[in-house]
Amino acid sequence: MLPNINIKIMILQLHSYWAYIVLLVLLVAFANALFAFIKKRSYKDLDMRIARFTLIIMHFQLLFGFGVYFVSSYFKSAKAIGMGAAMKDKTTRFFIMEHPMVMILAIVLVTVGFVKHKKQPVSLGRFKTLTIYYGIALLLVLSRMPWGQLFGK
Ligand code: HEM
Ligand code: HEM
């Protein structure tokens, strides 16, 4: 079963390293929208590119997240001990429920924010929409990052 093990590790590492890109890109997109909103500057092509790039990075993390979910040992142990018992274990509950649910919510917010901002007729409205949606998404991502695992290795 060697190939399986390799694929499992590859998906885990991809999801793990991609998280740094997610954090960086989401932070940049949020800061860009916030400062543009405060300065009341006009919306440029680059702003659309930053917002869309963030959306794409997040959607890819969603894909990797689902991949990781089903190969994860937390998923296997949750299946083995049963959902009720799994929810009583802090780490298993975090990776099986809290982390995926909150991250999916953050990705949904970025998607809705992106679509809504495109429909805004004026620059200020576009930046305001992006600031709110991407900002809340950033907070959600920060709140459910497995910080210990990310830097503890
Ligand atoms: C539940 C799954 C998904 C949903 C509901 C979803 C939905 C969306 C929506 C609503 C947009 C914005 C379209 C627009 O207004 O421009 C979008 C864009 C995009 N998504 Fe997803 N997506 C999903 C999964 C994925 C996955 C798994 C990938 C790739 C791995 C992906 C890649 C992209 C890309 C590249 C764009 C940018 C398109 C553009 O240039 O505007 N999405 N998606
Ligand atoms: C913004 C989106 C996300 C970020 C930034 C993120 C980040 C991370 C990080 C840094 C880890 C630790 C990996 C390690 O131990 O090295 C992790 C683990 C995990 N993530 Fe995510 N994630 C996101 C979305 C998702 C989604 C949408 C799902 C599921 C649908 C998911 C499922 C998991 C699972 C199951 C693990 C545990 C893997 C294991 O160690 O067995 N993640 N995530």
Please enumerate in sequence order all residues whose Cβ is within 8 A of that of 127, keeping only pairs 6 or more positions apart, or say none: 33, 34, 36, 37, 43, 47, 117
Q: Are 120 and 129 in contact (CB under 8 A)?
A: yes
- Please give the distance, rounded to the nearest whole angstrom, from the Cα atom of residue 151 to the centre of ligand 2: 14
* Closest C-alpha to ligand 1, atom 22: 59
User: What is the pLDDT at residue 151?
Assistant: 60
- Please give the distance, rounded to the nearest whole angstrom, from the Cα atom of residue 56 to the centre of ligand 1: 7
User: What is the pLDDT at residue 65?
Assistant: 98
- The low-confidence residues of the chain, meaning pLDDT below 70, are 1-5, 150-153
Ligand minimally distant from the alpha carbon of residue 148: 2
Please enumerate in sequence order all residues whose Cβ is within 8 A of that of 55, keeping only pairs 6 or more positions apart, or say none: 110, 111, 114
* Closest C-alpha to ligand 1, atom 10: 111
